[in-house]
Amino acid sequence: MAYITAREARVVAEATHIDGEYMRTDTDRIMGEINKLASQGEFKMVASFSLHKVIVKRLEHIGYTVKITSDQRDGDWTTISW
């Protein structure tokens, strides 16, 4: 049995989350909305909720900027820009 380093284990774990099926339906829904907004000339999307960290990682991995904001009065929201 070959041992892998912590760095190698982290790469495997990240790839599993990015390419895996977990949260895939939600990711596809977000990507569909991004595609629609981009085709309308928009450069960002604001969602009235906080995205799961797996979706955030996927988006950041393919070049999107994701900012999650929490406000006691207004709740959480997410801004995705491209």
- What confidence tens digit (pLDDT) does each residue in 16-37 have? 666 667 788 999 999 999 999 9
**What is the rounded average pLDDT for all residues in the chain?**
87
Domains of the chain with CATH codes? 6-81 (3.30.1370)
pLDDT of residue 73: 83
Quote the pTM value: 0.73
- In this predicted structure, the answer to whether residue 42 has a pLDDT above a threshold of 80 is yes
Q: Is the dihedral of CA 44, 66, 70, 14 positive or negative?
A: positive
pLDDT of residue 24: 85
pLDDT of residue 37: 96
